[in-house]
Chain A
Amino acid sequence: MSVLDLRTVNPLVKVLGPIPVMIYVVTTRDVLTPALVGLLAFALLALLGHQRPRVLAAVALGTVALVAVMTVSFGLLTDPATVDDTTPLARVGPLEVWSGALATGLATAVRTAALLLLVLLGGLTTSGADLVRAMTQQLRLPYRVGYAALAALRFVPRFSHELEVVRGAHRVRGVTAGRGPVGAVQRQAGYVVPLLAGGIRHAERFSLAMEARGFGAHPTRTERVVVPFGARDLVLLAVLWAGAAACVLLAASV
């Protein structure tokens, strides 16, 4: 992996870094600013993200489709009374489409696309477990909390096994909730409490086993996976913020 690989950048930079930019984007109302910020995020993802071409194509096409769909769907929600000085474009039953409404919808759509691309910048290159590790190693989150979350990842296969057991137990005891789709929903709902109860009881046994092995006995612990935070991460953060500021200034000057 090269030095300029987004996948090796500290997760805190990738996930928390874009947040100030996102907050600014939410407050914009024009089309150009979020469009430029979105292009910047996509460029960073394409150049440094080391994503497969198919993923990048899906992101690009998905964003375009999203903008198209949202322009219409949020345009329809716009109050026709506020835009009746613009041109009416179409009329389907009770729905009226005005060009002003579509312009408002387009602004919302581009804003959302920019937010989505900023989220994907970290999302496609970071796993949840890595962010948890960075939180314990850099943000001083108590390691007991972080490891509880990492251990919970192992509960998921356990739950699917437990679901089979609960299903079998209900079937053996002839627990019926009627037929058809309503019965199916009732049957599924009947699994919730036993599944949760089984999961919590498993977690209690699990915690005893962890304590028996000395979990939490010391204020600090060694890490098997180290997530470093270095100068490179600060450079990327600076590039992101400077780029976003440049987009804002460029949009303002036009």
Chain B
Amino acid sequence: MSSLTTRYLMTCAAIGAAVGVLLVPANFVSAPLALAAPLVFAPMAGLWVTGPVLALALVRRPGAAVLTSFVAGVISSASPVGATSILTCVMVGVAVEVAFLVTAYRVWRPWLFYVDALASGVAYLATWWLWTDMSSWAPGVMVAFGAMMLGSFVLCTGVGLMLAKRLARAGVARGLASASDREVSEALPR
């Protein structure tokens, strides 16, 4: 509990609020698209991982992704699906965080974020497989759909990492990241 400082909580809450505001219109656009034209929806599926990736890369503390997506879910519950958006968002947060949990929060390199993006993309594809009976789809459509969805996960992870880098360069949330303290102190002039 001692690691759960108010500053850390509220930083994640701020990122979550910013992302949640963007997810409200995304909810309204994506749901009809996913149902009427799944191939158009596939490239925007990754939108949901941007926030958790950004928070995890910036704050570098256990739980940052889950916490951020939890707050994003609360904010984006202003839609007909209401409080259920909290569940979906938390599931995304957990998916983003799993790879870091597995490596015991010791590795914060970008490659791990991309590995995780691919893994979560595959997991999300599996739910689509089950839900839409994807094995009956035409092979070409199936491959295009999967490629676009994985591509969007990787691309949005890249966007999240880029935003985190720019924010860190602006000096935001400095000293919050437990893992990067040494790197920061080594980079600073003596």
Contact = CB atoms under 8 A, between A and B. Distances in A.
Contacts of A211: 6
Interface stretch (A128-136, A170-178, A179-187, A232-240): A128-136
B132 interface: yes
Interface in B140-172: 141, 163, 166-167, 170, 172
Given A78-B136, A142-B1, A149-B71, A196 B12 contact: no
Contacts of A142: 1, 4
Contacts of A11: 83
B11 A203 contact: yes
A239 B63 CA distance: 36
Interface string B70-105: 110111011111111111000000000000000000
Given A66-B35, A151-B13, A15 B138 contact: no
A33 interface: no
Interface string A118-144: 011011111111111000000000101
Given A77-B138, A77-B141, A124-B82, A152 B16 contact: yes
Interface in B37-78: 37-39, 54, 67, 70-71, 73-75, 77-78
Interface residues of B, number: 56
A38 B151 CA distance: 34
A27 B10 contact: no
Residue among A11, A66, A204 facing the most chain B CB atoms (10 A cut-off): A204
A183 B2 CA distance: 46
For the residues of A in contact with B, the DSSP-based class is: helix
B139 interface: yes
Contacts, number: 184
Contact of B9 (A16, A144, A196): A144
Interface residues of A, number: 68
A215 B81 contact: no
A127 B137 contact: no
A195 interface: yes
B167 A127 contact: no
Given A122-B82, A122-B84, A131-B83, A153 B132 contact: no
Residue among B9, B16, B37 facing the most chain A CB atoms (10 A cut-off): B9
B183 interface: no
B13 A196 contact: no
Given A78-B138, A199-B15, A200-B15, A127 B172 contact: no
A250 interface: no
Nearest to A135: B86
A169 interface: no
Contact of B14 (A125, A153, A155): A155
A206 B172 CA distance: 15
A33 to B, nearest CB: 14
B13 A80 contact: no
B137 A149 contact: no
Nearest to A18: B84
B83 A107 contact: no
Contacts of A207: 5-7, 9-11
B179 interface: no
Contact of B21 (A73, A78, A159, A206): A159
Nearest to A118: B84
Contacts of A149: 13, 16, 70-71, 74
Given A123-B79, A131-B74, A149-B71, 4 more contacts: A27-B130, A122-B84, A149-B74, A207-B6
21 contacts: A29-B133, A79-B137, A79-B138, A79-B139, A123-B84, A128-B73, A128-B77, A132-B86, A142-B4, A145-B4, A148-B6, A151-B10, A152-B16, A159-B21, A193-B167, A203-B10, A203-B13, A203-B14, A207-B6, A207-B7, A211-B6
